[in-house]
Amino acid sequence: VIRGFDRARQSGAVDVVVIGAGHSGLAISHYLGARSVDHVVLERGEVANSWRRERWDSLRLLTPNWLSTLPGYGYSGEDPHGYMSMDEVIEFISAYARFLDAPVRTGTTVKSVSTAAGGYRVTTDQGAWHSRAVVIATGACNLPVIPAVAQALPKDIAQLTPANYRNPGQLAPGGVLVVGASATGVQLAAELQRAGHPVTIAVGEHVRMPRVYRGRDIQWCMHAAGVLDQRYDEVDDLRRASRVPSPQLVGSRERPFMDLNALSSDGVRLAGRLAGIRGGKAQFSGSLGNVCALADLKMNRLLMAIDEWADGHGRVADLGPPERFEPTRVPQPPILGLDLREIRTVVWATGYRPDWSWLDTPVLDRKGWIRHDGGIADAPGLYVTGLPFLRRRKSSFIHGAEDDARDLGEHLFGWLGALARRRAASIAV
Considering only 34, 287, 309, 411, the residue that binds other proteins (CB under 8 A) is 287
Name the residue nearer to other proteins (CB basis): 53 or 301. Answer: 301
Q: What is the pattern of x (binds other proteins, CB under 8 A) and - over residues 200-219?
A: -----x--------------
Q: Is 278 in the site for other proteins (CB under 8 A)?
A: yes
Question: What one-character DSSP code corresponds to residue 405?
Answer: H
b/e for 47-61, b at 16 or more Cβ within 10 A?
bbbbbbebbbebbbb
Q: Is 417 in the site for other proteins (CB under 8 A)?
A: no
In whole angstroms, give the CA distance from residue 387 to residue 179.
23
Name the residue nearer to other proteins (CB basis): 200 or 283. Answer: 283
The span of 167-175, 297-305, 375-383, 390-398 binding other proteins (CB under 8 A) equals 297-305
Considering only 366, 427, 428, 429, the residue that binds other proteins (CB under 8 A) is 366
Residue 7: what residue type? Answer: R
Q: Is 150 in the site for other proteins (CB under 8 A)?
A: no
In whole angstroms, give the CA distance from residue 7 to residue 230.
39
In whole angstroms, give the CA distance from residue 211 to residue 145.
27
Residue 207: how many other CB atoms lie within 10 Å = 18
- At closest approach, how far in Å is the CB of 289 from other proteins? 9
Q: Is 306 in the site for other proteins (CB under 8 A)?
A: no
Q: Is 187 in the site for other proteins (CB under 8 A)?
A: no
Task: Give the DSSP H or E segment for 227.
Answer: none
How would you classify the pairing of strands 127-136 and 119-124?
Answer: antiparallel
Considering only 13, 116, 152, 297, the residue that binds other proteins (CB under 8 A) is 297
In whole angstroms, give the CA distance from residue 157 to residue 341.
9
Q: Is 69 in the site for other proteins (CB under 8 A)?
A: no
Q: Is 280 in the site for other proteins (CB under 8 A)?
A: no
Considering only 276, 312, 320, 362, the residue that binds other proteins (CB under 8 A) is 276
- Counting beta carbons within 10 angstroms of the beta carbon of residue 234, is it exposed (0 to 12), middle (13 to 18) or buried (19 or more)? exposed
Closest to 138 (Cα-Cα) out of 419, 338, 358: 358
Name the residue nearer to other proteins (CB basis): 194 or 278. Answer: 278
Considering only 118, 286, 312, 368, the residue that binds other proteins (CB under 8 A) is 286
Q: Is 418 in the site for other proteins (CB under 8 A)?
A: no
Closest to 185 (Cα-Cα) out of 13, 415, 348: 348
Q: Is 166 in the site for other proteins (CB under 8 A)?
A: no
Considering only 167, 170, 265, 290, the residue that binds other proteins (CB under 8 A) is 290
In whole angstroms, give the CA distance from residue 177 to residue 331.
17
Q: Is 143 in the site for other proteins (CB under 8 A)?
A: no
Name the residue nearer to other proteins (CB basis): 102 or 299. Answer: 299
Cβ–Cβ < 8 Å for 270, 291? no
Could you tell me which residues come within 8 angstroms of residue 365 by beta carbon, excluding any fewer than 6 positions away? 371
The span of 16-24, 74-82, 163-171, 294-302 binding other proteins (CB under 8 A) equals 294-302
Q: Is 293 in the site for other proteins (CB under 8 A)?
A: yes
Q: Is 300 in the site for other proteins (CB under 8 A)?
A: yes
Q: Cis omega before residue 380 (within 30°)?
A: no
Q: What is the pattern of x (binds other proteins, CB under 8 A) and - over residues 333-362?
A: x-----------------------------
Closest to 140 (Cα-Cα) out of 348, 352, 349: 352
Question: What one-character DSSP code corresponds to residue 51?
Answer: H
Q: Is 275 in the site for other proteins (CB under 8 A)?
A: yes
Cβ–Cβ < 8 Å for 43, 21? yes
Cβ–Cβ < 8 Å for 190, 281? no
Cβ–Cβ < 8 Å for 407, 256? no
The span of 156-164, 166-174, 268-276, 306-314 binding other proteins (CB under 8 A) equals 268-276
The span of 186-194, 289-297, 395-403, 414-422 binding other proteins (CB under 8 A) equals 289-297
Name the residue nearer to other proteins (CB basis): 286 or 312. Answer: 286
Would residue 134 be called left, alpha or beta, if left means φ above 0 and alpha means ψ between -120 and 50 degrees? Answer: beta
- At closest approach, how far in Å is the CB of 334 from other proteins? 9
Which positions touch other proteins (CB under 8 A)?
A: 205, 272-273, 275-276, 278, 283, 285-287, 290, 293-294, 297, 300-301, 333, 366
